[in-house]
Amino acid sequence: MTDAQGRTLLDVGRKQRCAPDPVRQAAGFKKPYCEWHEGCDMPRSWSQYDHIVPFSHGGATSADNMQVLCSTHNRLKHRLQAKMNRQIWEHHHAQNHQDTETSGSGDGEGEPAPATAP
């Protein structure tokens, strides 16, 4: 996808993860510094272009889905996402384990259900 004049490439969709120069340039004009939500004064020239919706989660490589983050905040963002995903998984796993223990689902997972007398 290009701009209205057909001159600037703004979106390559899911064809490639790394943004080509025109996409990065269009994304980089939002702010002249790191776009971390709590504020950061690291200049854009020292920062990295990062997908807002991760490419691995279906995010497009487009100017609208790119942000400029300094390397510190880029790593922090990914660590926070990994921690959040781990916490969700651990909660889900613990909930499933608890449900299996209380319901005796007998689905072949975990401990076998106790034998009952006929």
- Backbone torsions φ then ψ of 89, nearest 5 degrees: -60, -45
User: For residue range 105-114, what is the model confidence (pLDDT) as tens digits?
Assistant: 444 444 555 5
Reduced to 3 states (helix: H, G, I; strand: E, B; else coil), residue 41 is coil
58: pLDDT confidence band, cut at 50, 70 and 90?
very high
User: For residue range 30-49, what is the model confidence (pLDDT) as tens digits?
Assistant: 778 999 988 899 998 899 99
> Both ends of the chain: CA-CA distance in Å?
69
Whole-angstrom Cα distance, residue 110 to residue 93? 12
Whole-angstrom Cα distance, residue 50 to residue 70? 10
CB atoms within 10 A of CB 78: 13
- Backbone torsions φ then ψ of 62, nearest 5 degrees: -145, 160
Task: Report the predicted TM-score, pTM, of the whole model to 2 decimal places.
Answer: 0.62
Residue 68's DSSP bridge partners are 49
